[in-house]
Chain A
Amino acid sequence: MIKLVSWKTQRRIVPYIFIAPAMLLLAIFTFYPIISSIRMSLCEWDIIGTPRFIGLRNYATTLSDMTFRHALLVTFLFVGVTVPVNVTLALLTAILLNGRLALRNLFRSIIFFPAFTSMVAIGMLWKYMYSTDYGIINYIITLFGGHPKDWLANPAWAPWSLMLTSVWYGFGWNMVIFLAGLQNIPDQYYEAAAIDGASKWAAFRFITLPLLKPISLFVVVMAVIYAFRMFDLVYVMTMGGPGTSTMVLMMYFYRQAFIMLRMGQGSAVALILFVVVFFFTVLQLRFFKGEVSY
Chain B
Amino acid sequence: MKKVIPYILAIGLALFVLLPFLWMFSTAVKPLKETFSWPPYLIPHDWSLENFPISVQRSNAIRALLVSSIYTVGCIVLYLIVASLAGYGFAKYKFPGDSILFLLVLGTVIIPIEVIIAPLFMLLKSLGWVNTFHGMILPRVVEPFGIFLLRQHFKTIPDDFLDAARIDGCSEFGILWKVVLPLSLPPLTVTGLFMFLWRWNELLWPLVVGSGEAQRTIQVAIALFQHEWFVEWNYLMALCVIAIIPILILFILLQRYFIQGVVMSGLKG
Decide if A and B touch, CB cutoff 8 A: yes
Sorting the interface of chain B by its residue count into under 10, 10 to 19, 20 to 34 or 35 or more gives 35 or more
Q: Which of B18, B172, B243 is the most central at the interface, judged by chain A CB atoms within 10 Å of its CB?
A: B172
CA distance A126 to B38 in the complex (A): 17
Assess whether B93 is in contact with A136, with CB atoms less than 8 Å apart: no
B70 on the A face (CB < 8 A): no
Count A-B contacts at CB 8 Å: 227
Assess whether A29 is in contact with B112, with CB atoms less than 8 Å apart: no
B231 on the A face (CB < 8 A): yes
Assess whether A111 is in contact with B17, with CB atoms less than 8 Å apart: yes
CA distance A292 to B85 in the complex (A): 25
B14 on the A face (CB < 8 A): yes
- Looking at A59-67, A175-183, A190-198, the stretch in contact with chain B turns out to be A175-183
B56 on the A face (CB < 8 A): no
CA distance A19 to B39 in the complex (A): 59
Chain B residues with CB below 8 A from A121, complex form = 201, 219, 222, 236, 240, 243
B114 on the A face (CB < 8 A): yes
Assess whether B142 is in contact with A30, with CB atoms less than 8 Å apart: yes
Chain A residues with CB below 8 A from B200, complex form = 118
Cross-interface CB contact of B269 among A101, A128, A294, cutoff 8 Å: A294
CA distance A181 to B7 in the complex (A): 22
Cross-interface CB contact of A134 among B38, B95, B111, cutoff 8 Å: B38
CA distance A176 to B259 in the complex (A): 7
Minimum CB–CB distance from A292 to chain B (whole Å) comes to 5
Minimum CB–CB distance from A221 to chain B (whole Å) comes to 9
Please report which residues of chain B, range 17-31, place their CB below 8 angstroms from some CB of chain A when the two chains form the complex: 17-18, 20-21, 23-24, 27
Q: A2-B171, A116-B197, A136-B23 are in contact. Are A250 and B112 (CB under 8 A)?
A: yes
Chain A residues with CB below 8 A from B112, complex form = 229, 231, 250, 270
| Chain A residue at minimum C-beta to C-beta distance from B89 | A18
Chain A residues with CB below 8 A from B202, complex form = 118
Assess whether B40 is in contact with A36, with CB atoms less than 8 Å apart: no
CA distance A184 to B17 in the complex (A): 27
B158 on the A face (CB < 8 A): no
Assess whether A32 is in contact with B123, with CB atoms less than 8 Å apart: yes
Chain B residues with CB below 8 A from A124, complex form = 226, 231, 236
Q: A33-B119, A34-B111 are in contact. Are A134 and B201 (CB under 8 A)?
A: no
| Chain A residue at minimum C-beta to C-beta distance from B145 | A222
Please report which residues of chain B, range 216-258, place their CB below 8 angstroms from some CB of chain A when the two chains form the complex: 219, 222-223, 226, 231, 233, 236-237, 240, 243-244, 247-248, 251-252, 255, 258
Chain B residues with CB below 8 A from A116, complex form = 197, 201, 244, 247-248, 251
Assess whether A97 is in contact with B86, with CB atoms less than 8 Å apart: no
B1 on the A face (CB < 8 A): no
Assess whether A129 is in contact with B86, with CB atoms less than 8 Å apart: no
A259 on the B face (CB < 8 A): no
A203 on the B face (CB < 8 A): no
In the complex, 26 of the A-B residue pairs with CB atoms within 8 angstroms, ordered by the A residue number, are A18-B172, A18-B176, A22-B83, A22-B105, A25-B82, A26-B104, A30-B108, A30-B111, A33-B119, A33-B120, A34-B119, A36-B116, A36-B123, A99-B6, A110-B17, A113-B18, A113-B21, A114-B17, A116-B248, A118-B202, A121-B243, A125-B237, A126-B20, A128-B27, A136-B40, A179-B259
Q: A33-B123, A121-B219 are in contact. List 6 more A-B contacts (CB 8 A).
A: A19-B90, A107-B10, A117-B240, A172-B17, A180-B267, A214-B268
